[in-house]
Amino acid sequence: MAAQPTSARTIQSSDAPYPSPRYAWYVVGVLTLMYVFSFIDRQIFALIVGPLRRDLRITDTQVSVLQGFIFAVFYTFCGIPLGRMADKYSRRGIIACGLVAWSGFTTMCGLAKNFGQMLAWRMGVGVGEAALSPSAYSIITDYFPKEKLATAISVYSMGIYIGSGMSYLLGGMVVRFASAKELWTLPVVGAVRPWQLIFLAVGLPGLIATALLFTVREPLRRGIAANALAISARQSFAYIFKNKRTFLCHNIGFGLLSLVSYASGAWVPEMFRRVYHWDIPTTGLVYGSMVTIFGSIGIVGAGRIADLVRARGRLQANMLVGVFLALLWIPFHFLLFLAPTGRWAVLWLAPACIFAAAPFGIAPAAIQQMMPASMRGQASAVYLFILNLIGLGIGPSAVAICTQYLFRRDAAVNHSLLLVSVTACLLSAALLASGLKPFLSSLDRLRDWTLESTPERG
């Protein structure tokens, strides 16, 4: 499964028949499972803030660095070269190597004894997970026609919310089980705390799941002219620069929605503990169930809506749906974060989870729609770079900083969440609305580029 350069046999016309729908959806299912594992490993921190602070002797801000910032830095910067590799080498092989790496480093997090060690292992998790999405987006785009692409990528992106939800559910179950004893003694490893047992429990299954990738066939690359594989990174970035207004409005606009989602994912469980005095197992069960069910509904539903809107002639449908999501989400922030009791907060979790999930299928679908086939991996990496640097890098830390330095009390985490979320949604709506016309111009530019680069048929 080693990554091999794309051969001439993989260069196909966009007129080539697509694989059978049944197998194409099977591939989406396998890739979705990989995404589930990545988000279980990524989000498990949110449920164990208290034990981490106690045992590693760290603050909210340091926890947010582990949750978001340091992971995001390595995830985003490594995503650029890995996206470039996805345009040239076996995408299946790249994903397999990444899965082994991030699962192994997650397991190592369970052996961390101090902040420095945990920081190092989180860097490794970020590098490994950077291999997944640029290659997965490119594979899915070669398996599905454009009119079904937003739905297909939304189903893949559903892994975010299945994985996040399972991290809370499994984390809560393991905490309940492991908390029966202060220390657990494992073969080879020795004595571990309950939170360390969680990392070991979620990291090891990912290593086993790598075998499933052997059932995925590397798809033929579509719409690539005979000279397209020779395109350099410099040419790719030059094309992106020509579309800079679209990229900035799209990437930063959706990045701000990502900021709200990651901030909520990182701190809503802790809000239930600090504000409503729920225990970790109860929070994991309730929040995990809501994220899994309603997050999945939100991300697939938004993709389906965008495909239907696009079928009616609105080619910028993905961007347009993003504008409405940003605006409609705002009142639910007030209802959730200012709820008088935990039961009222749970009532508003359902729509909040739907809105939190909705952007993450339509945003990458828009990138695939506007980029030449030979540049999709690179463009996806740039998108993920900005999305995660803003969302994952800033979101959890913004809430932590507001709580620690602005409101100066742990129980004000709900006010920090409200301030950060409403501000980000307003800015996102303005940017995405500003990008509607530039997006149409980018589609025209893609059509011209395709005509120029496709050899005439005799």
Cα gap 324→112, rounded to integer Å: 43
List Cα–Cα distances, 2 to 79, 93, 218, 405, in angstroms: 19, 5, 12, 49
Higher-pLDDT residue of 261 and 46 is: 261
Q: Which residues contact 366 (CB under 8 A, 6 or more apart)?
A: 250, 318, 319, 439
pLDDT of residue 376: 78
* Local confidence band at 453 (pLDDT 50, 70, 90 cut-offs): low
pLDDT of residue 352: 95
User: How deeply is 301 buried, as exposed, middle or buried, from its count of CB atoms within 10 A (0-12, 13-18, 19+)?
Assistant: middle
* Local confidence band at 227 (pLDDT 50, 70, 90 cut-offs): very low
pTM strictly above 0.95: no
Cα gap 194→115, rounded to integer Å: 17
Range scoring the smallest mean pLDDT among 181-190, 367-376, 398-407: 181-190
Is residue 288 predicted with pLDDT exceeding 50? Answer: yes
With vertex at residue 34, the alpha carbon angle to CA 81 and CA 152, rounded to the nearest 5 degrees, is 90
Domains of the chain as residue ranges with CATH: 19-207+236-449 (1.20.1250.20)
With vertex at residue 384, the alpha carbon angle to CA 245 and CA 337, rounded to the nearest 5 degrees, is 95
Q: Residues 104-108: what's their mean pLDDT? A: 90
Say if residues 182 and 105 touch (Cβ distance below 8 Å). Answer: no
List Cα–Cα distances, 46 to 43, 280, 283, 396, in angstroms: 6, 10, 11, 10
Say if residues 392 and 75 touch (Cβ distance below 8 Å). Answer: yes
Range scoring the smallest mean pLDDT among 47-51, 225-229, 249-253: 225-229
Q: Which residue has the tokens 């025209």?
A: 444
Q: Are strands 184-186 and 190-192 parallel, antiparallel or unpaired?
A: antiparallel
- For the chain, the distance separating the N- and C-terminal CA atoms, rounded to the nearest angstrom, is 37
Q: Where are the beta strands (DSSP E) in 135-227?
A: 184-186, 190-192, 221-222
Cα gap 154→297, rounded to integer Å: 10
> Mutual orientation of helices 70-86 and 132-143 as an angle, nearest 10°?
40
Q: pLDDT averaged over the chain?
A: 85
Q: Are strands 11-12 and 184-186 parallel, antiparallel or unpaired?
A: unpaired
Higher-pLDDT residue of 345 and 284 is: 345
Is residue 322 predicted with pLDDT exceeding 50? Answer: yes
pLDDT digits 0-9 by tens, 178-224: 556 666 777 777 777 777 888 887 788 888 888 898 899 888 877 65
pLDDT digits 0-9 by tens, 6-38: 443 444 445 567 888 899 999 999 999 999 888
Range scoring the smallest mean pLDDT among 95-99, 170-174, 331-335: 170-174
* Local confidence band at 263 (pLDDT 50, 70, 90 cut-offs): very high
Q: Within 13 Å, how many C-alpha atoms sit on residue 135's CB side?
A: 32
Tokens for 391?
């969302």
pLDDT of residue 88: 81
Alpha-helical segments (H) within 57-144: 60-64, 70-86, 91-109, 115-129, 132-143
With vertex at residue 131, the alpha carbon angle to CA 260 and CA 36, rounded to the nearest 5 degrees, is 55
